[in-house]
Amino acid sequence: MTTIRLNPLSGTPLYLQLVEHLKHSIETGAIRAGEQLPSVRKMAEDLVINPNTVVRAYRDLEREEILELRHGSGVFVRESVSARIDLMKKAGPIMRSAVDRLESLDLGEDDIRRLMENELALRRTARQTRKRRA
């Protein structure tokens, strides 16, 4: 847990950085299903961030059914995240073959990252436009 590095200047909100970090830790098994996470207070003090930022991250993960906030006893990783980990394991090979094919076109790391982000941004804009029209 002490290895979390948050960067306020990265352009990604701090609570999202924390959400992503915790998800990644859970997906890689660094934090296990059923494990207890530090309290809001402890996490805020360790990371030197506003406690409300930690609350927001925990709430997000609760909404995504990754964490369970048990009143009075703490914050726990749900047992059901095992299914999510399996999903991520399935996604791994799909990603690998896509990147393999892009690399076979002689595209570098930066190109691939840009393509990926472009594609995601296009989809986001399309969704937003659809929402505005609706």
Partner 1 sequence: MRDLSVPNSAADEPIVAVTNLSRRFGAKKALNDVTLAVSRGCVFGLVGENGAGKSTLIKHLLGLWRAEAGSVNVFGLDPVSEPTAVLSRIGYLSEQPDLPGWMRVAELLRYTQAFYPRWDTTYAEQLLGQFSLDVGARINTLSKGQRARLGLIAAEAHRPDLLILDEPSSGLDPIVRRDILEAIIRTVTDEGRTVIFSSHLLDEVERVSDHVAMLHQGTLKLCAPLEEIKARHRRVSLRFEAPRTEPPEVAGAIRVDGAGREWTVISDARRTFAPAAAQHLGAVIVEDTEASLDEIFVAHAGY
Q: Given the rule CB under 8 A, which residues bind partner 1?
A: 6-9, 11, 13-14, 40-41, 44-45, 48-52, 121, 125, 128-129, 132
Shortest distance, position 88 Cβ to partner 1, whole Å? 26
CA 106 centroid distance within chain: 29
Of the pair 11, 93, the CB lying nearest partner 1 is at: 11
Of the pair 49, 67, the CB lying nearest partner 1 is at: 49
> Cα–Cα distance between 22 and 42 in angstroms, integer?
15
For residue 130, count CB atoms less than 10 angstroms from its CB and return exposed for 0-12, middle for 13-18, buried for 19 or more.
exposed
Shortest distance, position 67 Cβ to partner 1, whole Å? 20
Stated as kind and residue range, the H or E segment containing 62 is helix 51-63
> Cα–Cα distance between 66 and 76 in angstroms, integer?
9
Of the pair 28, 125, the CB lying nearest partner 1 is at: 125
Shortest distance, position 129 Cβ to partner 1, whole Å? 6
Of the pair 44, 116, the CB lying nearest partner 1 is at: 44
Sign of the Cα torsion 92, 97, 98, 103 reads: positive
**Residue whose C-alpha is closest to residue 33's, from 58, 64, 68, 5:** 68
Shortest distance, position 83 Cβ to partner 1, whole Å? 32
